[in-house]
Amino acid sequence: MTRRAALLVAVAGALAARTASAHPLDLGYLRIDAAGPALTATLDLDASAAAHLLGTGPSTLDAQALRERAAELADATIRRGELMTELGACRWKRASAELRARTASLVLEAVCPSGARTLRWPMPFVSGPRVASTFQLLVKARLGGAEQVTTVDRGAPELVLSQDSRPGFAQFVWSGIEHIGAAPGEWHDDDGWKLPDGLDHILFLLALMLAGGTVLRLVGIASGFTLGHSITLALSGLGVVRPPASVIEPVIALSIALVAAQAFLGKEERRRWQVAAAFGLVHGFGFAGALGELELSTPELVTALFGYNAGVELGQVAIVCVVAPLILLLQRRPALHHAVVRVLSAAICVAGMYWFVQRLVG
């Protein structure tokens, strides 16, 4: 239904044997991918716009000519302005161009100073005489893992991109809450109820707390877990130790099974906080996975680690606040408590073993 507009545009141009876009000269698309010092820019323009810029007839530009004149097209467009960072200019490497149907696609590679976080790129060609006055360039840039979308036109002919526009502290906190499965969205979405992604961490905590104890002991267990995962989350987040997920995930599953088995057998009741701390070390590596994808610089990482860890703690507190009162209540009926511990810990142990096998065999 909502595609009818595009259909009608295509149909209205049906008299010729080709498809003409609605405003082919008016819109260009620039994609920028910056990973470390290497930068790749891809500019897509209508072929006739490229021909105008090269001073050739719009219907005579062919693929061979475009390939041969790639450098010239680059100089007439995005290479006209100097690509600068706060640490100095970038150095252009190679340019190549391809003609695909009615789109001229120009690819430029550059090397920028290492550690640069801001790009400043004037695009004087958008104001030039060979480009329509209504020309706009949509820019999509990926810098340091984050995506930015902006527009360059005659009114704003300079592109400024900064890696400062990153998730803030609050967003990292929420990320942590989500990862441990305490966010409401982890349990329910538009399609109905679902199990949270952090269910394994929740069951681990539950297995640790099942055997009960005083309030202080339960708090001690949660704190031990916090201590453990905070250490390895920091080590992994800072890149000091980064074991592969293929090792960590099965071990996390095994930890769940072992703790549940201990609860079942009634072992090590007095040292559960130490057990929590020890296995927390493993879980911390699991928590660090989400941060690794962001490719943050070191100062940003510290903020992210604090925020993310705070989020995991808040989520943990939420879980403990739900579970602990139930366990304390259950402890008033020792026989029932004993049975519930046995049954639930057996169930959690089976779940842990299932995950262990599943994650091991992939």
Q: Interaction with another protein in 322-351: which residues (CB under 8 A)?
A: 335-336, 338-339, 342-351
CA 68 to chain centre: 39
Residue pair 238/299 in contact by the 8 Å Cβ criterion = no
| Residue numbers 9-28 binding another protein by CB under 8 A | 9-28
Pairing of strands 91-100, 103-111: antiparallel
To the nearest whole angstrom, how small is the minimum distance from the Cβ of residue 113 to another protein? 27
Among residues 128, 38, 150, the alpha carbon closest in space to that of 83 is found at 38
Instruction: Tell me how crowded residue 334 is: count the other CB atoms within 10 A of its CB.
Output: 10
Contact residue for another protein among 40, 75, 122, 132 (CB under 8 A):
132
Smallest gap from residue 167 Cβ to another protein (A):
10
Binding footprint of another protein, residue count (CB under 8 A) = 83
Tokens in use for 194? 């679902």
Nearer to another protein among residue 24 and residue 289 (C-beta): 24
Of 258-287, binders to another protein (CB under 8 A) are: 264-265
What is the footprint of another protein within residues 211-230 (CB under 8 A)? none
162 C-beta neighbours (distance < 10 Å), count: 14
Beta carbon nearer to another protein, 229 or 337: 337
d(CA 195, CA 118): 41
Specify whether the CB–CB gap between 172 and 307 falls below 8 A: yes
Nearest to 283 by CA among 353, 203, 175: 203
Q: What is the nearest approach in angstroms of another protein to the Cβ of residue 73?
A: 15
Smallest distance from the beta carbon of 59 to another protein, in angstroms? 4
Q: Does 48 bind another protein (CB under 8 A)?
A: yes
The residues in 168-197 that bind another protein, with binding defined as CB under 8 A, are 190-195
Residue 136 vs 232, nearer CB to another protein: 136
Nearest one of 68, 319, 357 to 218, comparing CA atoms: 319
Q: Which of 58, 113, 243, 289 binds another protein (CB under 8 A)?
A: 58
Enumerate residues 79-108 that contact another protein by CB under 8 A. 99-103, 105
Site string for another protein, 298-327 (x = CB under 8 A): ------------------------------
Minimum CB–partner distance for residue 119 and another protein (Å) = 18
- The phi and psi torsions of 273 (rounded to 5 degrees) equal -70, -30
Q: How far is the CB of 284 from another protein (least distance, A)?
A: 25
Q: Are strands 38-46 and 27-35 parallel, antiparallel or unpaired?
A: antiparallel
Q: Is 43 left (phi over 0), alpha (psi -120 to 50) or beta?
A: beta
